[in-house]
Amino acid sequence: MIPWELLGNARVPGGTEEISLHRRGSEYVIKVDGHLLMTNLTHSSEDSLSELGCAGLATVRRASVLIGGLGMGYTLAAALKRVGPDARVHVCELVPEVVAWNLDLIGHLAGNPLADKRAAVLQRDIADVLRAEKGAYDAILQDVDNGPEGLTVKANDWLYGEEGLAVAAAALRPGGTLALWSARPNKPFVKRLRKAGFEVSEVVARSRNQHRGAHHIVWLARRNDPTFRRNKESQ
């Protein structure tokens, strides 16, 4: 059997977690403190996150999308396919080495999405970006950690708490969508989304393709904005 090759590692800024990139033949994986975070062999549910979260944005002028976490670039690549030529897609990625890996070692896996002029990396915590922006985004895609349970980086817990969800709602434009990926269902989290004023739908997404792989979850949380809804219904 071909042995795993360590291609690089890094520390999460401000934390103690170690992120590492490994390769075995044509398979690549990213781990956090030795725990598998993602692999290039199972990214269909990450693609679904963008497909669902960015639905309808291809015809929206100057659509604005925010993605939490660059990973292997699959979420970004899928989002770019679903927005128009004048859109902007920002990706928050705290770890500079992960950006470097996507520019050099693994960029080809997702089709080099960082080369797209509509894409830009913000080396900032997505929590800080959300706090600073009001009504700025048509879609916010959170491909952060393993979902609400925060299995790898505990600092991510804030994003899935009541305060984080309220801040995310404020950062959306009227009718905007907060789309969140999770490794598994979580009923208490769905209740928090609704308490934060979102209309929520839950979609099961397979990790390999539409018919194979583990069952993951994509939540679509839309701002429950009565004014926006009335305007849409009158059109």
How many other CB atoms are there within 10 angstroms of residue 210's CB atom?
A: 9
Beta strands in the chain (DSSP E): 5-11, 18-24, 27-32, 35-39, 64-68, 88-92, 119-122, 137-142, 172-182, 198-206, 215-223
Whether the full predicted model's pTM is greater than 0.75, yes or no, is yes
**Could you give the domains of the chain?**
43-234 (3.40.50.150)
Give residue 225's pLDDT. Answer: 65
Measured between alpha carbons, how far is 193 from 178 in angstroms, rounded to an integer?
A: 10
Compare 224 and 150 and report the one with higher pLDDT.
224
Percent of the chain with pLDDT over 70: 87
pLDDT digits (tens, 9 = 90+) for 14-52: 888 899 999 999 999 999 999 888 899 988 888 899 999
Are 110 and 141 contacting, i.e. CB atoms less than 8 angstroms apart? no
- Give per-residue pLDDT as tens, 120-169: 999 999 999 999 999 999 999 997 766 676 544 555 678 888 999 999 99
